[in-house]
Amino acid sequence: MRPRRVPGLAVAATLLATLGGCADAPPEPAGAGTTPGPAASVETSSGPARPTPVAPARRAPSVAQAQPPRSLTLPSGRTVAIDAVGTTPTGLLDVPADVAVAGWWEGGARLGDPFGSVLVAAHVDARAQGLGPFSELLEVDRGDRLLLESAGLRQSFDVRSRRLVPQGSLVDDSWLFDASGAARLTLVTCAPPYVPSRGGYQNLAVVTAVPLGLPEER
Protein backbone atom coordinates (compact mmCIF):
# COMPACT_ATOMS: atom_id res chain seq x y z
CA MET A 1 0.00 0.00 0.00
CA ARG A 2 2.14 2.91 1.22
CA PRO A 3 5.32 3.46 -0.66
CA ARG A 4 8.33 2.63 1.51
CA ARG A 5 10.71 5.55 1.50
CA VAL A 6 14.07 5.92 3.14
CA PRO A 7 13.53 8.79 5.61
CA GLY A 8 17.02 10.17 5.08
CA LEU A 9 16.54 10.34 1.38
CA ALA A 10 13.32 12.23 1.81
CA VAL A 11 14.87 14.81 4.07
CA ALA A 12 17.90 15.21 1.85
CA ALA A 13 15.72 15.75 -1.16
CA THR A 14 13.60 18.18 0.77
CA LEU A 15 16.60 20.20 1.91
CA LEU A 16 18.12 20.30 -1.53
CA ALA A 17 14.87 21.30 -3.10
CA THR A 18 14.43 24.00 -0.49
CA LEU A 19 17.90 25.44 -0.96
CA GLY A 20 17.77 25.12 -4.71
CA GLY A 21 14.34 26.60 -4.90
CA CYS A 22 13.64 24.96 -8.21
CA ALA A 23 10.43 23.06 -8.68
CA ASP A 24 11.85 21.23 -11.66
CA ALA A 25 14.87 19.78 -9.84
CA PRO A 26 14.76 15.99 -10.14
CA PRO A 27 14.72 14.89 -6.51
CA GLU A 28 16.07 11.35 -6.79
CA PRO A 29 19.55 11.87 -8.22
CA ALA A 30 20.10 15.07 -6.23
CA GLY A 31 19.27 13.40 -2.94
CA ALA A 32 21.36 10.31 -3.50
CA GLY A 33 24.72 11.91 -2.88
CA THR A 34 24.01 13.43 0.54
CA THR A 35 21.99 10.70 2.21
CA PRO A 36 24.09 9.92 5.32
CA GLY A 37 24.17 13.37 6.92
CA PRO A 38 20.55 14.31 7.54
CA ALA A 39 19.43 10.72 8.14
CA ALA A 40 20.36 10.94 11.82
CA SER A 41 18.56 14.19 12.43
CA VAL A 42 15.23 12.95 11.16
CA GLU A 43 15.18 10.09 13.65
CA THR A 44 15.48 12.48 16.57
CA SER A 45 13.31 15.16 15.03
CA SER A 46 10.10 16.04 16.81
CA GLY A 47 8.35 16.98 13.57
CA PRO A 48 4.78 16.08 12.66
CA ALA A 49 3.48 12.54 12.78
CA ARG A 50 4.75 9.99 10.28
CA PRO A 51 3.47 11.06 6.89
CA THR A 52 0.80 8.91 5.32
CA PRO A 53 0.20 8.69 1.59
CA VAL A 54 -2.56 10.92 0.28
CA ALA A 55 -5.42 8.60 -0.63
CA PRO A 56 -6.95 9.15 -4.05
CA ALA A 57 -10.63 9.98 -3.65
CA ARG A 58 -12.92 7.28 -4.95
CA ARG A 59 -15.46 7.73 -7.72
CA ALA A 60 -18.77 6.81 -6.07
CA PRO A 61 -19.72 3.26 -7.13
CA SER A 62 -23.09 4.49 -8.40
CA VAL A 63 -21.45 6.84 -10.90
CA ALA A 64 -21.09 5.29 -14.35
CA GLN A 65 -18.23 6.59 -16.44
CA ALA A 66 -19.76 7.43 -19.77
CA GLN A 67 -18.50 5.38 -22.72
CA PRO A 68 -18.86 5.39 -26.51
CA PRO A 69 -21.68 3.07 -27.56
CA ARG A 70 -20.52 -0.05 -29.39
CA SER A 71 -23.72 -1.84 -30.35
CA LEU A 72 -27.46 -1.41 -30.54
CA THR A 73 -30.00 -4.20 -30.31
CA LEU A 74 -33.19 -3.36 -32.21
CA PRO A 75 -36.71 -4.44 -31.12
CA SER A 76 -36.49 -7.43 -33.50
CA GLY A 77 -33.46 -8.67 -31.56
CA ARG A 78 -31.03 -7.85 -34.33
CA THR A 79 -27.81 -6.28 -33.06
CA VAL A 80 -26.05 -3.58 -35.06
CA ALA A 81 -22.39 -2.70 -34.52
CA ILE A 82 -21.64 0.97 -33.93
CA ASP A 83 -18.55 2.88 -35.05
CA ALA A 84 -17.56 6.28 -33.66
CA VAL A 85 -17.77 8.78 -36.51
CA GLY A 86 -17.08 12.44 -37.07
CA THR A 87 -18.24 14.95 -39.61
CA THR A 88 -16.82 15.39 -43.12
CA PRO A 89 -15.41 18.79 -44.15
CA THR A 90 -18.73 19.53 -45.86
CA GLY A 91 -20.65 18.93 -42.63
CA LEU A 92 -22.01 15.49 -43.50
CA LEU A 93 -22.20 12.97 -40.66
CA ASP A 94 -19.65 10.33 -41.68
CA VAL A 95 -21.98 7.32 -41.47
CA PRO A 96 -20.29 3.97 -42.37
CA ALA A 97 -21.03 2.88 -45.95
CA ASP A 98 -21.88 -0.64 -44.71
CA VAL A 99 -25.62 -0.71 -44.01
CA ALA A 100 -25.00 -3.24 -41.23
CA VAL A 101 -22.85 -0.79 -39.24
CA ALA A 102 -24.19 2.35 -37.59
CA GLY A 103 -22.27 5.55 -36.86
CA TRP A 104 -22.34 7.30 -33.49
CA TRP A 105 -21.46 11.00 -33.59
CA GLU A 106 -18.45 11.15 -31.29
CA GLY A 107 -18.99 14.79 -30.37
CA GLY A 108 -22.35 14.04 -28.81
CA ALA A 109 -23.52 12.32 -25.66
CA ARG A 110 -22.12 8.90 -24.77
CA LEU A 111 -23.76 5.97 -23.06
CA GLY A 112 -23.94 7.02 -19.40
CA ASP A 113 -23.88 10.80 -19.86
CA PRO A 114 -26.62 12.35 -17.69
CA PHE A 115 -27.78 14.74 -20.41
CA GLY A 116 -27.91 15.07 -24.15
CA SER A 117 -28.54 13.13 -27.31
CA VAL A 118 -26.70 9.92 -28.21
CA LEU A 119 -26.95 10.22 -31.99
CA VAL A 120 -26.69 6.95 -33.95
CA ALA A 121 -27.35 6.84 -37.70
CA ALA A 122 -27.14 4.11 -40.34
CA HIS A 123 -28.01 3.78 -44.01
CA VAL A 124 -31.46 2.42 -44.64
CA ASP A 125 -30.24 0.63 -47.75
CA ALA A 126 -27.50 0.28 -50.36
CA ARG A 127 -27.65 -1.10 -53.88
CA ALA A 128 -25.11 -3.82 -53.17
CA GLN A 129 -26.61 -4.81 -49.82
CA GLY A 130 -30.32 -4.18 -50.06
CA LEU A 131 -32.24 -2.95 -47.04
CA GLY A 132 -30.16 -2.65 -43.88
CA PRO A 133 -31.14 -3.35 -40.27
CA PHE A 134 -31.98 0.31 -39.61
CA SER A 135 -34.92 0.00 -42.05
CA GLU A 136 -36.63 -1.51 -39.02
CA LEU A 137 -36.79 2.02 -37.60
CA LEU A 138 -39.40 2.85 -40.22
CA GLU A 139 -41.75 0.40 -38.50
CA VAL A 140 -40.94 0.52 -34.77
CA ASP A 141 -43.68 1.65 -32.46
CA ARG A 142 -44.03 3.53 -29.24
CA GLY A 143 -42.91 1.39 -26.30
CA ASP A 144 -40.58 -0.82 -28.32
CA ARG A 145 -37.35 -1.62 -26.51
CA LEU A 146 -33.80 -0.90 -27.57
CA LEU A 147 -30.58 -1.97 -25.87
CA LEU A 148 -27.48 0.17 -26.18
CA GLU A 149 -24.16 -1.29 -25.08
CA SER A 150 -20.62 -0.03 -24.67
CA ALA A 151 -17.44 -1.80 -23.60
CA GLY A 152 -18.55 -1.85 -19.98
CA LEU A 153 -22.14 -0.57 -19.81
CA ARG A 154 -25.61 -1.42 -21.04
CA GLN A 155 -28.78 0.60 -20.92
CA SER A 156 -32.29 -0.10 -22.16
CA PHE A 157 -34.33 2.52 -23.96
CA ASP A 158 -38.01 2.92 -24.65
CA VAL A 159 -39.12 4.22 -28.07
CA ARG A 160 -41.16 7.39 -27.65
CA SER A 161 -41.43 9.11 -30.98
CA ARG A 162 -40.74 8.95 -34.70
CA ARG A 163 -40.58 12.10 -36.71
CA LEU A 164 -39.84 12.82 -40.34
CA VAL A 165 -37.32 15.58 -40.95
CA PRO A 166 -37.13 16.83 -44.55
CA GLN A 167 -33.73 16.08 -46.08
CA GLY A 168 -31.49 19.14 -46.03
CA SER A 169 -29.67 21.37 -43.60
CA LEU A 170 -29.95 20.43 -39.95
CA VAL A 171 -28.89 23.79 -38.54
CA ASP A 172 -32.39 24.24 -37.13
CA ASP A 173 -32.55 20.68 -35.84
CA SER A 174 -29.86 20.74 -33.19
CA TRP A 175 -32.10 18.62 -30.95
CA LEU A 176 -30.84 15.67 -32.99
CA PHE A 177 -27.32 15.96 -31.57
CA ASP A 178 -27.48 18.52 -28.77
CA ALA A 179 -25.49 17.99 -25.57
CA SER A 180 -28.35 19.61 -23.66
CA GLY A 181 -31.76 18.33 -22.71
CA ALA A 182 -32.76 15.03 -21.17
CA ALA A 183 -30.59 11.97 -21.82
CA ARG A 184 -31.97 10.28 -24.94
CA LEU A 185 -31.09 8.00 -27.81
CA THR A 186 -31.67 9.50 -31.24
CA LEU A 187 -31.68 7.03 -34.13
CA VAL A 188 -31.61 8.30 -37.70
CA THR A 189 -32.01 6.69 -41.09
CA CYS A 190 -33.47 7.73 -44.43
CA ALA A 191 -37.14 7.51 -45.21
CA PRO A 192 -39.28 7.67 -48.37
CA PRO A 193 -40.29 9.09 -50.70
CA TYR A 194 -37.29 8.33 -52.89
CA VAL A 195 -36.94 10.84 -55.72
CA PRO A 196 -33.75 10.23 -57.75
CA SER A 197 -34.04 13.58 -59.51
CA ARG A 198 -34.05 15.36 -56.15
CA GLY A 199 -31.12 13.60 -54.51
CA GLY A 200 -32.82 10.38 -53.41
CA TYR A 201 -34.65 9.97 -50.12
CA GLN A 202 -36.54 13.10 -49.17
CA ASN A 203 -36.80 12.50 -45.43
CA LEU A 204 -34.88 11.43 -42.40
CA ALA A 205 -36.76 9.18 -40.00
CA VAL A 206 -35.78 10.18 -36.48
CA VAL A 207 -36.67 7.78 -33.68
CA THR A 208 -36.26 9.11 -30.15
CA ALA A 209 -36.00 6.77 -27.18
CA VAL A 210 -35.60 7.52 -23.48
CA PRO A 211 -33.61 5.53 -20.93
CA LEU A 212 -35.33 2.92 -18.80
CA GLY A 213 -33.34 3.33 -15.63
CA LEU A 214 -29.67 3.98 -15.17
CA PRO A 215 -26.87 2.38 -17.17
CA GLU A 216 -25.74 -0.94 -15.72
CA GLU A 217 -22.40 -2.65 -15.85
CA ARG A 218 -22.21 -5.44 -18.40
Partner 1 sequence: MRRLVLSGLAALLAVLGLSAAGSGASSGASSATQAPGPARVTVVQAVPDASVDVTIDGREVAGGAEVGDVLGPFELAAGTHDVVFSGDGVEVASTLDVRAGTASDVVLHLPAEVGGDPVVHSYAAPDGPIGPGKARVLLAHTATVAPADVRVDGETVFTNIANGEFADADVPEGTIEVALVPSGSTEDPILGPLDVSLEASTLSMIYAYGNPRDGSMDVIAHTSPLAADGSVAPTRIDTGSAGLAVAPVTVFAGEEKREPVFLGLLALIAVAAGLGAAARLHTAARRRVG
**Residue 182 DSSP code:** B
Q: Does 121 bind partner 1 (CB under 8 A)?
A: yes
Q: Candidates 127, 197, 213, 218: give the one binding partner 1 (CB under 8 A).
A: 127
* Measured distance CA(88)–CA(85) in Å, rounded: 9
Q: What's the min distance (Å) between Cβ of 66 and partner 1?
A: 7
Alpha helix segments (H runs only) across 21-51: 27-32, 36-44
Q: Which of 15, 39, 81, 100 binds partner 1 (CB under 8 A)?
A: 15
Among 33, 56, 77, 213, binds partner 1 (CB under 8 A): 56
- Candidates 32-40, 68-76, 88-96, 149-157: pick the segment binding partner 1 (CB under 8 A): 88-96
Tell which one of 111, 148, 185, 191 touches partner 1 (CB under 8 A).
191
> Could you tell me which of 111, 129, 131, 128 has the C-alpha nearest to residue 120?
111
| Least separation in angstroms between CB 134 and partner 1 | 7
3-state secondary structure of 124: coil
- Taking CB under 8 A as the binding criterion, the range among 32-40, 67-75, 146-154, 184-192 that sits at the site for partner 1 is 184-192
Residues 91-110 that bind partner 1 (CB under 8 A): 91-93, 95, 105-110
The residue among 58 and 218 lying less far from partner 1, judged by its C-beta, is 58
**Under rule CB under 8 A, which residues in 137-156 are in contact with partner 1?**
138, 141-142
Please say whether the beta carbons of 191 and 124 come within 8 A.
yes
Q: How far is the CB of 216 from partner 1 (least distance, A)?
A: 14
Q: Please give the Cα distance from 155 to 78 (Å, whole number).
A: 16
Total residue length of the chain: 218
Neighbours of 181 (CB within 10 A): 12
| Nearest C-alpha neighbor of 109 from the set 184, 59, 21, 45 | 184
Closest CA to 158 of 175, 149, 176, 146: 146
- Cβ distance to partner 1 smaller for residue 146 or 190: 190
Stretch that binds partner 1, among 32-40, 58-66, 70-78, 147-155 (CB under 8 A): 58-66
Residue 198 interacts with partner 1 (CB under 8 A)?
no
CB neighbours of 3 closer than 8 A, spacing ≥ 6? 53
Nearest approach, Cβ of residue 174 and partner 1 (Å): 7
